[in-house]
Amino acid sequence: MPRLSQRLGAEGDQQAVGALYRVGVEQVEKIGTPVKIVAVSPDLTHRGIYQVIFGEKVIGDYRGVAPGGISVIAEVKSAFGRNLHWSDLLPHQPPGLDRHDELGGISLLVWVTDNGVHVLRWPVKGFGPGKGLTPEAADKMSIRSL
């Protein structure tokens, strides 16, 4: 990942965390993606050549607690200068966010864009396979509190 992209992603994450606190999510914490570090081959171990293998996939970037002790999962996407596309989500994320919602948790999609941070309750109306969201539509649907 290029350094600019990493920097924008990190800045987007900071903005998203602030937005989650502003809408009433407490104890916001990053969900770590499990990884394993393995030697590329046994004969290269002594040279320090290793490979990162990602473990189980996670459904969101952050977890927190809403008033009343309700579980919150938030997936954060940073997309500047364009609409947010359904394809920006990884294939396992929509079903995971759906299931969390079905179980009584609160699933959120947080979109960091040029015109601000949009906290959207999942499922997002009108957003699905082959569809996108404009910043204007997201602004109208953004929640202000839980």
DSSP string across 43-72: GGGGGT-EEEEE-S--S-SEEEEETTTEEE
Region 14-35 average pLDDT: 93
Helix (H) or strand (E) holding 4: helix 3-22
Summarize pLDDT for 62-71 with one digit per residue, the tens: 999 999 999 9
pLDDT at 16 over 80: yes
- Name the CATH code of domain 3-141 (choices 3.40.1350.10, 3.40.640.10, 1.10.150.120, 1.10.1040.10): 3.40.1350.10
pLDDT digits (tens, 9 = 90+) for 88-122: 999 999 999 999 999 999 999 999 998 899 999 99
